[in-house]
Structure 1
């Protein structure tokens, strides 16, 4: 099974699924992105409608009536018919509420733009977490498989030593128990990797087989200054789409408040109409008539009383403005906490990765020393197994810390509104061909 994977690794540059390609595919298929894009289109139309309220409106009305008229003493019925065609044009001259209505619609449109940007950032963050979880689960499986093979070899060695009288029966049983436990861990790691692949396939809108042939380079870690949290907070204050949404919501609420207040103001419209009518007579005339009427006028409307509904709308708009202001404060607080947490998580994972790298090298030397000691009779088989188990744990924890550092770094950039295609290209440049037998070679080197 190793040889086909190696051959497939040689074809990696030509057939690999790059991270920018996966990100583009995931964004196209993400339902939240599609939903916010539709909301943006709707907001664009609402802005157009608000602007259109300043323009003229025209209506054509067609009326056709038929009736019968009879009078005493004969009561001879006479059929009457009349047709009328009316063209009406109205142009607002002054409607104060139209101006804040446009301002509110524009703020809502910009809010929808930022909602789309926020949903794209969240989709990219989900993809980054899914990719790194796959890498992490694959490393755990590789470590568990290598440990299972090492325990199996040590179990065989313990049985041979028991047969020649160099080991006691409890050592053989302990080695066998470790093998059974390692098999269980490997099975659990296989199930976890399968789950993570399914999650990634769902997010990326399809399977990603070529991605499994790649891995983050062992020495690749994100760069982050330990004293740079204030810079990240300042950037998030300016560039975070979620915070901009909250600010624009306050602006829209203030515009709605002005709109509600201006419902008290008078309005002035210019009206023009053209009427064409014809009939075959009336109840008082038997002569048909045809005529045209043209009229131009100005309409002044002064609101006087609306049973308190207008003032109620003003109070409602003020309450909604206060609600938007409170949500802005909440969004700012949530963003600050999120950026600080992501920053600390990234720094912590980076520190752990560096420390665990040193621990992994030290533990590898410990395994080698215990194996040498076992060969000359100084160390027991249990000592070798324990050292190998600690080496597995160190490598597993190192892999987790390295991938957690990248995941937290991507989250930090997403929260600050800085995550872009350049980040995917930078991470993709850090990927190398995955070596599925790396743990086995490391084990062989430690035992040589």
Structure 2
């Protein structure tokens, strides 16, 4: 049995790695994210603080047991006499009026809601980090694919230049320029591969493991998020209502105000009801040789009126007022930061979408230019430098187009996170836009141009 479990252990270890759809990866990343776990622990602690605040309204009971052994000697030379005394006391106290209890309960409730929103915020940030890591990998992989295709195209053009030089159709500088372009393309490819390796490591760290199946997929070239140009006010309204970060700041103000009320009520009197039951027994005392046993019980009320605390109570009130002002300022700062962040994300996403649409047209035009320059070179009306330059511009257009498309998705996910809406539906929508990854080939320009 143990041998069978040992053979199956690698399968269980590999199970998390098998999750390759984006919703599954998001769940896996959230489960392993340290920030999410930390805020989850803070939420559990806040729940217990609320239990403690409620418990302050209930009774408290104490049991005290005392046992003493005494040796008494009458002076100047009397006989030593030992005796023993035992006492058991049971006390119950029920608060009747303590003004600070209700503000403490309000503060605990606000802190619990604040911790819940902190957990939501950390989950949104973790999902945003995962989205950025995935899209950065896709973007870097496209750069590598484009650099590889460009290097191959430059290599083919170098071979053509060398053949032309051998038959006298090309000059030596054209061959040297083609060689320089090949060397530069190789350098760009090495840099792109190093960047891709780094992005894959970051993704594996964020996603809590390798994602080989995801790396075989890519965002469809025509897939872009939908973002109406006149919807910024809707996004701002949504963020104002749903942002966990802004709700945390509001709840921090509520908790600070409750702490202020709690501190000010430290001046107020308190009333408690007490019940005491005592059982005592002894074998004698210093003045009696007769043993005694007895029970007593008492019930009463205790009124406590605070008179003077050397200024500590008033100082505590001033402290809580300052903390309330701090929380109010942080709320204004959080609102301002949120508005700026939403506007920046909206403009960045809209700009990336516009660039993607414009660069798609530029790519098609540059593909036609590459084909035209290749034909011109074949018939002798274009030089090798013209072809190399056209191919380089096509590479830049495709690289920029890939960057714009992925930046649009990254900006859209950031916008959804800032407005408190990022969730499983967004991952499912992006996952539906993933297709099998196909390496880039500059010769596809002929197909796109209809040549």
Q: TM-score range by the shorter chain?
A: over 0.9
Q: Distance in 2 between matches of 1:238 and 1:16?
A: 34
Secondary structure of 1:68's counterpart equals: strand
Determine whether 1:217 maps to 2:223. no
C-alpha distance in 2 between matches for 1:351 and 1:443: 22
Equivalence map 1:265-280=2 (5 Å): 265-280=268-283
The residue that corresponds to 1:174 in the other structure is 177
The 5 Å alignment of 1:333-348 reads 333-348=336-351
1:121 to 108, 121, 124: 124
CA deviation map 1:181-239 (0-9, x unaligned) = 00000011100000000000000000111111100001100000101100000000000
Give the whole-Å Cα distance in 2 for the aligned partners of 1:291 and 1:439: 101
Residue 6 of structure 1: aligned partner: none
Q: How far did 1:72 drift?
A: 2.8
- Whether the aligned pair in 1 keeps the contact of 2:236 and 2:342 (CA below 8 Å) is yes
Please state whether the residue corresponding to 2:296 is helix, strand or coil. Answer: strand
Q: What TM-score, normalized by structure 2, do the two folds share?
A: 0.95
Q: Distance in 1 between matches of 2:76 and 2:219?
A: 107
1:153 aligns with 2:156: yes
- 1:323 aligns with 326
Which whole-Å deviations, capped at 9, do the CAs of 1:354-386 have from their partners, x for residues lacking one? 000000000000001001111111101110010
Deviation of 1:74 after TM superposition, in Å, equals 3.6
Partner of 2:255: 252
Aligned residue number for residue 191 of structure 1: 194
RMSD, matched Cα = 1.1
> Residues 435 and 383 (structure 1 numbering): CA distance in 2 closer, same or farther, change over 3 Å?
same
Q: CA deviation at 1:153?
A: 0.5
C-alpha separation in 2, matches of 1:378 and 1:447: 22
Which of 52, 67, 70 aligns to 2:70? It is 67
State the partner residue of 2:416: 413
In the alignment, structure 1 residue 349 sits paired with structure 2 residue 352:
yes
Deviation per CA, 1:133-187: give whole Å up to 9, x if none.
0000000000000000000000011000000000000000000000000000001
**Quick one: structure 1 residues 141 and 447, their matched pair in 2 at CA, closer, same or farther if it must change by over 3 Å?**
farther
Specify the alignment match of 1:292 in structure 2: 295
Which of 134, 137, 152 lines up with 2:137 in the alignment? Answer: 134
Rounded Cα–Cα distance in structure 2 between residues aligned with 1:207 and 1:157: 42
- Matched residue, 2:102: 99
| Distance (whole Å) between structure 1 residues aligned to residue 239 and residue 83 of structure 2 | 76
- Contact between 1:368 and 1:447, CA under 8 Å: does it hold in 2? no
Contact 2:274 2:301 in 1 (8 A): yes
Gaps of 5+ in 2: 1-17
* Structure 1 residue 118, shift from structure 2 partner: 0.2
2:96, 2:424 → 1: CA distance?
A: 49
Q: Distance in 1 between matches of 2:63 and 2:132?
A: 60
Task: Report the counterpart of residue 4 of structure 1 in structure 2.
Answer: none
- Superposed counterparts of 1:354-373, under 5 Å: 354-373=357-376
Using the size of structure 1 for normalisation, the TM-score is: 0.95
Which residue matches 2:52? 49
Q: CA deviation at 1:75?
A: 1.9
Match of 1:381 in 2: 384
Q: 1:70 to 1:49 in 2, by over 3 A?
A: same
CA offset digits 1:53-78 (Å, max 9, x no partner): 00000010010001100103442110
Secondary structure at the aligned position of 1:439 is classed as coil
Where has structure 1 moved over 4 Å in runs of 4 or more? 443-448
Tell me by how many angstroms 1:16 deviates: 7.1
| Alignment of 1:439 onto 2:441 | yes
User: What is the alpha-carbon distance in structure 1 between the residues aligned to residue 104 and residue 450 of structure 2?
Assistant: 77
Do 2:124 and 2:422's aligned partners in 1 also have CA atoms closer than 8 Å? Answer: yes
8 Å CA contact 1:214–1:432 kept in 2: the answer is yes
Report the Cα offset of residue 80 of structure 1: 1.4
The question of whether the paired residues in 1 share the 8 Å contact of 2:19 and 2:25 is answered with no
Contact 1:16-1:211 within 8 A present in 2 as well: no
Look up the match of 2:20. Answer: 17
Relative to structure 1, is the Cα distance of residues 432 and 51 closer, same or farther in structure 2, using a 3 angstrom cutoff? same
- Does structure 1 residue 163 correspond to structure 2 residue 129? no
Aligned to 1:12: none
- Residues 104-128 of structure 1, C-alpha deviations (whole Å, 9 max, x = no match): 0000000000000000000000000
Provide the aligned length of Structure 1 versus Structure 2.
433
- The 3-state SS of whatever aligns with 2:82 is strand
CA contact (8 A) 1:43 1:112 kept: yes
